[in-house]
């Protein structure tokens, strides 16, 4: 089955720790994205990648980092510099940056 997987589904982190969220797709999509969603709000773009070994900052990149070493994978690291990381994180992908984005099931991150 083709799709986008995110792991883990729930993640708990202590303050001051870095944590990495996984996103994998087998749809052969070139573009991948990370969004953050806070309660009662829409999605805000953190980072996106149009192609392997390339990525661009979105609207709220501070305190986050990404890598795109493989077409299928786009992990997001939430660093200790992110002051309010508790949120729901969604990964998406599309054939190209002009195409429809399809989403993974999301990771809910809670900072204790």
In the complex, which residues of this chain contact another protein (CB under 8 A)? 33, 40-43, 45, 88, 90, 92, 97-98, 100-106, 108
Closest CB to another protein among residues 54, 69: 54
**What is the DSSP code (8-state) at residue 53?**
T
Integer Cα distance of 58 and 55 in angstroms: 10
Q: How far is the CB of 98 from another protein (least distance, A)?
A: 6
Closest CB to another protein among residues 41, 110: 41
Tokens 């204790």 — which residue? Answer: 112
Q: How far is the CB of 88 from another protein (least distance, A)?
A: 6
**What is the DSSP code (8-state) at residue 41?**
-
Q: How far is the CB of 17 from another protein (least distance, A)?
A: 23
Integer Cα distance of 109 and 99 in angstroms: 28
């Amino acid at each position: 089955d083709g799709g986008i997987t995110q792991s883990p589904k729930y993640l708990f982190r202590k303050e001051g720790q870095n944590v990495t969220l996984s996103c994998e797709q087998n749809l052969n999509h070139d573009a991948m994205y990370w969004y953050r969603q806070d309660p009662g709000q829409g999605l805000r773009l953190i980072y996106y990648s149009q192609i392997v070994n390339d990525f661009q900052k979105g609207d709220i990149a501070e305190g986050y980092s990404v890598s795109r070493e493989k077409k299928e994978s786009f992990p997001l690291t939430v660093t200790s510099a992110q002051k309010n990381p508790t949120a729901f994180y969604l990964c998406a992908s599309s054939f190209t940056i002009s195409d429809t984005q399809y989403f993974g099931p999301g990771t809910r991150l809670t900072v204790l």
